[in-house]
Each structure stands twice: as structure tokens, then as C-alpha cells.
Structure 1
Amino acid sequence: MNYQKKTVVASVAGLTLEGMDIMFLSFAMSMIIAEFHLDMATGGLISSITNLGMLFGGILFGILADKFGRVKVFTYSILLFAIGTALTGMAANIEQVYIFRFIAGIGAGGEYGIGVTLVAEAWPKNKQGRASSYVSIGAQFGVILAALLSAMILPAWGWRGLFFVGIIPVLFAFMVRKNLNESPEWLASKIEKKQASKRGSVKELFATPRTVLTTIALAVMATVQIAGYNGLMIWLPSMLQQSQGLSVSGSALWTISTAIGMIAGMLTFGQVMDRLGMKKAYGLFLIASAVAVFFYSFATGATGVLIGGAIVGFFSNGMFAGYGALISYFYPVEIRSTATNTIFNFGRALGGLSPILVGFILQHANVTMAMIYLAVLYCISFIALISLGNGHAARKQNALHTLSKAI
């Protein structure tokens, strides 16, 4: 297996484990609430604290990866993620659950950004889209894996047994460290001692007016991506049960249909990005997302709801496939991991609050207004996209491609 494929396999596996852990919390939440006698708000805080950990970990591990190497820090982030997950299964009270989920979040926040940075630096620009799309479906694999494991473990060993499975990433980290070499582009920049004083500096994300605009625009786009996904996946089943009279089993079928659309959208988006370029691909999918989400509020009948859900998922979450390549493209190697981790995890933390606003809209208005809100989000992201420049020019993609193949 060549170096390029190894980076994809490692990143896919890392995101699969992260997605699995996040869904473990969803499946175990009712049991945790019951054991510690929590109200819904206190239980929901577990997820919020995990997201805050991801933001902190994204910044911390992004800086470390730029300073000390992608692979080394990648494995450390996985180890911390595994430790936090396993410790959650030993929590004696809700305060300990908060602490351990924050630790797991720190590790998870570092893992994603470093993984996609490795992929972006290993693949030539005309293939980064499809490589990034392969990585992105790892989260969907994690959801499926979590569902299967939860069905087997929860009835027998309860929610604690589920989190003990989190020790598995320790073995994965060992394999990565043993079989994956450091990024050739990062090694080259270190040998040249290029911009050593600026390596891993968050300040460099705001060093010039052009960079400030780029960082803000990408942060807006990442926030919209997470906000749209969370708003759709958390509230749409309830919306459909109310507006269309769908049963719980019917809304579960909608979830599967939408997830299939998302996977197809991510794989397609990677191909479109490589053929049309980043800005055109995002522009096309953002406009399509706004239109699809708005008209979906008028869908009727079981067939219309299922097909419409797949179409919305195809466009709205298909774009997730490109964020690793998109953010990496706009920053030099010295701060690339810092930029990717900081920007995307900022989007996770802020966009993760979207379900609160969607719930408020549903309580005081109706489904149509909630869908208009989501459609407007994609329009805002489109405006942010237009403000982006042409990216970091000195990528030397052809030379890197040759070096990667040699390794």
C-alpha cells in the first residue's frame, strides 16, 4: 500500500472511531440520565461539554501537529480520545462524566483535523476532493458500527460496557505510529526551516487583512455545515411526525434514506470538486442545498418525504466531504493543521447550538419557518464562499505527488 492510500485508511479509521464514540453517547444517554437521576437539560450538557473539548483539542493538537509532526501528534490525540472514552465508563457521578467527556472531546478534536491535513498533503490537488470524500464517510461507518455494538452490548453490560469499547483506538494508534510515515511536505518544510517562528501559531490565521477574511469566511462555512446537519438530523424526524403524521418507524426509515443520500452526496462531491474546482463545487452544492431544504418543507406523502430527504442529505451533507481539502488549500504547511483544526472545531462548537434555535422556531412558529432558517444558512455560506481568494499558491503539488509516490 502506497503512502497516499495509507493516509486515507488511517484518517477513515480515525473518523470512524470518532463517529462511533459520539453515537455511543446518543444510544447511552437515556441510561445515563436514569442512573444519575438527571433532567433532560443536564443530560444534554454532556454533548455540549464534549463539543467544547473538541474546540480546545482542535486548537491544541493543531498547533502541536504543525510544530512536531502530523503522525506523532495524530497518535497522541487518538490515545487521549480512547482514554477519555474508557474513563467515561467508570464515572461515579455526572461531574466525572463531564470531565471524561471533555477529555475525549479534546482527543477527538485533534484527530479529525490532523487526519484530513495528512490526506491533503499526500494527494495532488486534482485528486484531493475524492480522497477527502473517502475520509468523510468514515463518520457514517462509525454510526453504523455504534448501532450494531449498542444493540449487542447495552442489553448485556449496560452503558458502561459500551464506553469500555473505547479502548480499541489504543491499538489503532499503535498501528498508525508503526506503519505511517510523516508527511513529506511537513518534513520538507522542517528541513528547510521555513517560517519556523510562525509554525503552529494561531495568530498567523489573522496575520493580514486577506487572511482574516479567509479565516472568517471558512469559519462561517464550517459553522453552517454543522448547524445545517445538526438542525436537520436532530429535528426533522420530529417535524415529519408532526407535519406528515409519520410514525416512529417511518421517521427511522427517513433517517436511513437521508443517510444514504448523504453518503452518495459525499462521494459525488469529491468527484465534482476535482473536476470543477473547490469554489464552483461548493457554490453549486450550497445553492442546491438552499433550494432543496426550502422546497422540502412542502413535501407530502411517504414517497415524497423519503425521496426529498435523500436529496436534501445528498446536497447539504455532501459538502462535508470537501472541508479538509478546502481549509488546507488556503494555508501554508507551517500552520495548515492549526488552521484546519481551529476552524472546523469552531464550526462544530458554534454549529452544534443550531438545534436549540431550530427548537425555538418550531415552538413559536412552524416547520416552514424552520426550513427557511436552514435555507438562509446555506445562502450565508454561499456569500462567505464568494469572499474567498485563490488560496495558498505555493503548494508545489507536482513535486509533492512525485515524492509521495516514491515513499
Structure 2
Amino acid sequence: MNYQKKTVVASVAGLTLEGMDIMFISFAMSMIIGQFHIGMATGGLISSITNLGMLFGGMIFGILADKFGRVKVFTYTIILFAIGTALTGLAANIEQVYIFRFIAGLGAGGEYGIGMTLVAEAWPKNKQGRASSYVSVGAQFGVILAALLSALILPAWGWRGLFFIGVIPVIFAFIVRKNLDESPEWLESKKVKQNIDKQGKLKQLFANQRTAATTIALAIMATVQIAGYNGLMIWLPSMLQQSQGLSVSGSALWTISTAVGMIIGMLTFGQFMDRLGMKRTYGIFLLASAVAVFFYSYASGSTGVLIGGAIVGFFSNGMFAGYGALISYYYPIEIRSTATNTIFNFGRALGGLSPILVGFILEHANITTAMSYLAVLYCISFMAMLSLKKNQAERKPKAVNKLSEAI
């Protein structure tokens, strides 16, 4: 297996585990709320605290990865992720759940950006869109795996059993990553003293006015991406159980249908990105997402719910596939991991508040209002995307390829 494929396999394994872990919270939410006697908004805080941990973990491990190497730092992210996942199953109260989810978030936050950076540095620019989409599909594999395991484990072992089972595959990811060589591009950059002086410095994300504007725009887009995903996936299974009378197994079927739509959307998005360019592809998917989530609130019947969920998943989370390539494109190698981890995990932390707001909306309004809120968010992201401009200071004129021409 060549180095390019190894980076994809390793990153897919990591995102599969991460996606599975996040959806464990979704399926276990009603049981956790019942056991600890908390409200829906308080339950939504579990996901928000996890995302806050991802922000800190992303910043810390992103800086370390730029300074000391991509692959080496993976070891620490996997260990933290494993510890936090296992300890969640031992939580005696909601406060301990918050603490253990924060620990898991620290590890997961570092894992995403480093994996995406490895892929970006291993693949040529005109193939980064599809390579990034292959990796992003791993998160949906995790969603499907979580749905299947939840249907089997929750009735027999309860919510704690999910997190005990969830730690086992982390061992596999640890082994895969341990056998992955360091990024050749990063190793080469270590030889340039100017690059060494800039490595892993957050202030480089705001080095000049254009870079600062780019950082802010990308942070807005990442925030909307996570807010939309969490708003949909955390609460909709529970809402469908109530509004459509679905059982846990029925809501699991909805989740699988939506995840399949997301997978197809990601693969399609990657192909579009490499052929049409980043901005054009994001524009199409953002506007389509706004329309799809709004009209999904009017879906009824099992067929409408399943097909509508797949369509919403196709557009709203298909865009997830592009963020690794998108963020990596706008920053030089010496701060690439720092930028990817910090920006996307900032989006996770802020967008992670979405389940609290959606939970509040659902308690005081209806699903149409909640979906309208998500539609507005996608329109905001569209405006932020339009503001992105190529940072000529960081690019050599002769290094033009198909991807940069499309942008």
C-alpha cells in the first residue's frame, strides 16, 4: 500500500471511531436524561462540552503536530480519546459525564485536523477534494456502526455498554497510525529555518488583513457545518420517535438512511470540488441544504421521512467532505495543522451549542421552526463562502494547478 492510501486508511479509521462515538450520545441521550433526571437542553450540553474539548484539543495538538510531526502526535490524541470514551461508561452523575466527554473531545479534536492535514500533504491539489471525501465518509461509517450497535446493545446492556464497546476499535486505529510514516512535506519544511520560526503559531492565522478575513470566513462556515449536523443528528431520532411513532430500531433505520445519503453526498462533493472548484461547489450545496432542511419539516409517513432524510443528508453533510482540502488550501505548511484543527474545532465548539438551542426550540415551538433556523444558518455560511479570496502571498505564481484555477 502506497503512502497516499495509508494516509486515507488511517484517517478513515479515526473518523469512523469519532463518528460512532458522537452518535452513541445521540442514541443514549434519552436513557442518560432519564437516569440523571435532567432536561433536554441540559442533555444537549453533553455534546456541547464534547465540542468544547475538541476546540482545546484541536488547538493544542494542532500546534504540537506542526512543531513535532503529524504522525507522532496522533499517539496522544488516540490515547486521550480512548480514555474519555471508556470513562464515560463509568460516570456516576451528569457532572462526570461532562468531564469524561471533555477528555474524549480533547483527543478527537486533535485527531481530525492532523488526519486531514496528512491527506492534504500526501495528495496532489487536483485530487485533494476526492481524497478528503474518502476520509470524511469514515464519520458516516461510524454513524451506521453506532446505529447497529445501539439497536443491539442498548436493550441488553444499557447506555454504559455502548461506551465500553466503543473503546475497542480505538486500539486498531492506534496500531494503524503507529505504522504510518511521517509526512514527507512536513519533514522537508523542517529544513527551512523561516518555516521553523513560524511553525504552530496561532497569530499566523491573523498575520495580515486578508488572512484574518479568510480565517473568520472559514470559522463561520465550519460553525454552520457543525451546527447543522448536530442540530439534525442529535435530536431528530428522538423527535421521530415521538412525531412518527418510531421505535428505537425505526429511528436507527432513519439514521442509516440519512447516513447513506451523507456518504453519497460526500463522494459527490469531492468529485464536484476537483472539477468545478471549491467556491462553486460549496455554493451549490449550501443553497440546496437551506432548501432541503426547510421542506423536510413537512415530510410525513415512513417513506417521506426516510427519503427526505437521505436528501437532507446528501446536501447538508456532503459539504463535510471538503473542509480538510478547503482549509489546507488557504494556509502554508508550517501552520496547516494548526489552522485546520483550530478553525474546524472552533466551529465544533460554537456549532456544538446548536443542540441546546434546537432543544429549546423544540420545547417551545415545533420542528418547522427548528428547521427554519438551520436553513438560515446555511444562508449565512453561503455569504461567508463568497468572501473567500485566494491568498496570493502564500502561493507561488508558477504553482498553478486545476484546483487553484477552478477557485
Q: Which residue of 1 aligns with 2:213?
A: 213
Residue 175 (1) aligns with residue 176 (2): yes
Post-superposition offset of 1:28: 3.8
Q: Which moved more, 1:322-331 or 1:187-196?
A: 187-196
Deviation at 1:247, TM superposition (A): 2.4
In structure 1, how many angstroms separate the alpha carbons of the residues matched to 2:102 and 2:347? 17
- 1:41 Cα deviation from its structure 2 partner: 5.0
Question: Does 1:290 find its partner at 2:290?
Answer: yes
Give, as a single letter, the amino acid of the residue that structure 1 aligns with 2:211: T
Q: Which moved more, 1:156-165 or 1:221-230?
A: 156-165
- The reply on whether 1:63 has 2:70 as its aligned counterpart is no
What one-letter code is carried by the residue in structure 2 that aligns with 1:349?
Answer: A
Report if aligned partners of 2:297, 2:367 keep a CA contact under 8 Å in 1.
Answer: yes
- Other structure's SS at 1:385 match: helix
Aligned partner of 1:315 in structure 2 is: 315
Report what 1:330 is aligned to: 330
Cα distance in 2 for partners of 1:238, 1:97 equals: 20
Q: Offset at 1:305? A: 4.0
SS of aligned partner of 2:233: helix
Q: 1:93 offset after TM fit, Å?
A: 4.3
Inter-partner Cα distance in structure 1 for 2:53 and 2:164: 20
Cα distance, 1:25–1:366 mapped onto 2, change above 3 Å: closer
Of 246, 249, 266, which residue of structure 1 is paired with 2:244? 246
Question: Do residues 184 (structure 1) and 200 (structure 2) align?
Answer: no
The separation in 2 between residues aligned to 1:30 and 1:369, in whole angstroms, is 22
CA distance in 2 between partners of 1:395 and 1:154 (Å) = 56
> Are the structure 2 counterparts of residues 298 and 170 from structure 1 closer, same or farther at C-alpha, using a change threshold of 3 Å?
closer
| Deviation, structure 1 residue 363 | 4.7
2:237 is the alignment partner of 1:225: no
SS at match of 1:191: coil
CA drift at 1:398? 9.5
Question: Is the partner of 1:390 in helix, strand or coil?
Answer: coil
Encode CA deviations 1:83-126: one digit per residue, 9 max, x unaligned.
22223334444443332221111001100111011101100111
Residue 173 of structure 2 aligns with an amino acid whose one-letter code is: F
Distance of aligned partners of 1:397 and 1:76 in 2 relative to their CA distance in 1, 3 Å threshold? farther
TM-fit CA distance, 1:325 = 0.6
Show the counterpart of 2:395. Answer: 393
Cα distance in 2 between the residues matched to 1:30 and 1:23: 13
Matches within 5 A, 1:91-240: 91-154=91-154, 157-165=157-165, 166-177=167-178, 179-236=179-236
SS in structure 2 at match of 1:58: helix
Paired residue type of 1:393: R
2:26–2:235: 8 Å Cα contact kept in structure 1? no
CA contact (8 A) 1:86 1:167 kept: no
Q: Tell me whether 290-299 or 115-124 shows the greater mean CA deviation.
A: 290-299
Distance apart, 1:264 and its partner CA:
0.8
Q: Answer yes or no: is the 8 Å Cα contact 1:82–1:168 preserved in 2.
A: no
Q: CA RMSD in A?
A: 2.7
The number of residues matched between the two structures is 396
Give the Cα separation in 1 of the matches to 2:202 and 2:325.
19
The Cα shift of 1:230 comes to 2.0
Q: Equivalent residue for 1:405?
A: none
Q: Give the direction of change, closer, same or farther, for the CA distance of 1:80–1:275 in structure 2 (3 Å limit).
A: same
Matched residue SS, 2:339: helix
What is the CA-CA distance between 1:50 and the residue it aligns to? 1.6
Whether the aligned pair in 2 keeps the contact of 1:124 and 1:398 (CA below 8 Å) is: no
2:53 paired residue number: 53
**Structure 2: how far apart are the matches of 1:358 and 1:38?**
16
CA contact (8 A) 2:85 2:163 kept: yes
State the percentage of identical aligned residues.
81
Structure 1 unaligned segments of length 5 or more: list them.
400-407
Amino acid at match of 2:74: F
CA distance in 2 between counterparts of 1:241 and 1:95 reads 27
Structure 2 unpaired stretches of 5+: 402-407
| C-alpha distance in 2 between matches for 1:167 and 1:335 | 33
